[in-house]
Amino acid sequence: MAEEVILLDYWPSMFGMRTKMALAEKGVTYEYKETDPWVKTPLLIEMNPIHKKIPVLIHKGKPICESLIQLEYIDEVWSDSYPMLPSDPYQKAQARFWGDFIDKKFYDPSWKVWGTKGEEQVAAKKELLEHFKTLETELGDKPYYGGEVFGYVDIALMGYYSWFIAMEKFGDFSIETEFPVLTQWTKRCLARESVVKALADPDKIIEYANILRKKFGAE
Amino acid sequence: MAEEVVLLNFWPSIFGMRTMIALEEKGVKYEYREEDVINNKSLMLLEMNPIHKKIPVLIHNGKPVCESIIQVQYIDEVWSDKNPFLPTDPYQRAQALFWADFIEKKLCVCGRRAWTTKGEELEATNKEFLELLKILQSELGDKPYFGGAKFGFVDIIMIGFYCWFPAYDKFGNFSIESECCKLMAWGKRCMERESVAKSLPDPEKVVGYVLQLK
């Protein structure tokens, strides 16, 4: 039976990029519907009435919201190939911990470093660099966060990759210089088709960041 | 092999209550260690949760699991032979995780603001808090528990708020019973479970704790 999978997403969203990577890893064909989250379409409101945000994964007409939850769902439904989470409960808990860290801690300074100015921006940059350091330390000598195999945490963080360029430009730092080990990891991930196809054009991201900066009053 | 389970916690924490309830539901024996998080975090806490330095920390055979929602999932997976918290169906699981995330991202964050704001900002926070409770009440609907007929994951994630409701009422100058009577009924239903009654502190103690902070 053909699976009907639809993804409501917005091209610059780091969260949507995660879900696209996961679907690609599993070889799932889906219909992509570009959905501007600033314009609350009836479909978006119907499928995500609580948050009215993208990405929304719609599987056989039923919505799954929140990108990390979508990753777990995709891993469970299409469980016959490329497991993204470890099967061991302790290792799984560690993977979930880092996914949670990325969204709870990394997310805020990751946009404030390009989306704010003055003291707020300086504080965001300091915090962001600390979190990059923490993430690089956690990676250690491993090829991927999960060990030998590209998985959940790699996807959770690579979702932000398109925005690294905006963080660097407006934060005035170089990820390659500050975090060479993490940079090697990004190159390793970029060798995967699922990742490359999910990411946005960096020039378009800079253009979009400039629009948002004006909107937020950062310039 | 005997399992060694230790829980580092701070008694008023809604987060710690989740983990305690989960352990009790599974009949897991554990050592409880009270942490003085305000004045003096122990070396063990700093070692076991170096990233956030927060409770609760679940230590299983010497290995730490941090973040209460992650701990409840872990407990469900390790002690999988009784009282499953999450449904087996992936879609139902995703819905349960969604509501846990909603409670975490929206209700907990709003609730925290209630203790650190005043004036107009506090009024707005209180209004939002009640709206969020109403959303949860709507989600509960006519079901006895969030998961349906059985006490489960979302109930575990949410129930810690029940012993904090009198404190919110007192300082928010509203009545959750009047605004969300179905949710209160759900709370009372959950309190009939031994795992919950054992894990939630006396609401009067919570009020006393908040008075001390303010």
Q: What is the pLDDT of residues B103-149, one digit of tens each?
A: 999 999 999 999 889 899 999 999 999 999 999 999 999 999 998 99
Q: Does B74 touch chain A (CB under 8 A)?
A: yes
Res A2: pLDDT: 53
Average pLDDT over residues B37-49: 95
Q: Does B98 touch chain A (CB under 8 A)?
A: yes
Per-residue pLDDT of chain A (219 residues), as tens digits, is 456 999 999 999 999 999 999 999 999 999 999 999 888 899 999 999 999 999 999 999 999 999 999 999 999 999 999 999 999 999 999 999 999 999 999 999 999 999 999 999 999 999 999 999 999 999 999 999 989 999 999 999 999 999 999 999 999 999 999 999 999 999 999 999 999 999 999 999 999 999 999 999 988
Query: Domain limits of chain A?
Result: 5-78, 89-216
Q: Does A93 touch chain B (CB under 8 A)?
A: yes
- Cβ within 8 Å, pair B97-A72: yes
Pull the structure tokens for residue A200: 């946005």
Q: Which of A26, A52, A65, A105 is the best residue to mutate to test the B interface, defined by the most B CB atoms within 10 Å of its own CB?
A: A65
Q: Does A90 touch chain B (CB under 8 A)?
A: yes
Pull the structure tokens for residue A173: 């730092």
CA distances from B28 to A204, B21, B125, B198, B201 (A): 53, 10, 38, 13, 20
Within chain A, where are the H helices?
14-25, 42-47, 67-77, 89-101, 107-115, 118-139, 152-158, 161-171, 175-178, 180-190, 193-198, 202-216
Pull the structure tokens for residue B188: 């009372």
Pull the structure tokens for residue B34: 């009270």
**Residues of chain A found within 8 Å of residue B74, distances taken between Cβ atoms:** 89-90, 92-93
Instruction: Give the chain A residue whose CA is nearest to the CA of B60.
Output: A90
Q: What percent of chain B has a predicted confidence (pLDDT) above 70?
A: 99
Provide the CATH number for the domain formed by A5-78 in this structure.
Answer: 3.40.30.10
ipTM of the complex, rounded to two decimals: 0.96
> Which domains, and CATH codes, for chain B?
5-79 (3.40.30.10), 90-213 (1.20.1050.10)
pLDDT digits (tens, 9 = 90+) for B187-205: 999 999 999 999 999 999 9
**Residues of chain A found within 8 Å of residue B63, distances taken between Cβ atoms:** 90
Q: Which of B49, B81, B101, B108 is the best residue to mutate to test the A interface, defined by the most A CB atoms within 10 Å of its own CB?
A: B101
Res A1: pLDDT: 45
Nearest beta carbon to residue B51 from set A64, A93, A134 = A134
What sign does the CA torsion over B201, B206, B212, B214 have? positive
Q: Do domains A5-78 and A89-216 have the same CATH topology?
A: no
Measure the CA–CA gap between A132 and A138, rounded to whole angstroms. Answer: 10
Phi, psi of B66 (to 5 degrees): -115, 160
Give yes or no for a contact between B167 and B202, defined as CB atoms under 8 angstroms apart.
no
pLDDT digits (tens, 9 = 90+) for B61-103: 999 999 999 999 999 999 999 999 999 999 999 999 999 999 9
Q: Does A58 touch chain B (CB under 8 A)?
A: no
Encoded amino acid at B126, one letter = N
- Cβ within 8 Å, pair B74-A93: yes
Pull the structure tokens for residue B179: 């605004």
Average pLDDT over residues B149-153: 97
- Cβ within 8 Å, pair A59-B91: yes
Provide the 8-state DSSP code for B176: H
Which of the following CATH numbers is that of domain A89-216: 2.40.360.20, 1.10.10.10, 1.20.1050.10, 1.20.990.10? 1.20.1050.10
Res A98: pLDDT: 98
Residue in this structure with the two tokens 């019973």, named with its chain if needed: B177
CA distances from A213 to A105, A173, A207, A208, B97 (A): 21, 18, 10, 9, 33
Beta-strand runs (E) in B17-164: 31-34, 57-60, 63-66
Res A219: pLDDT: 84
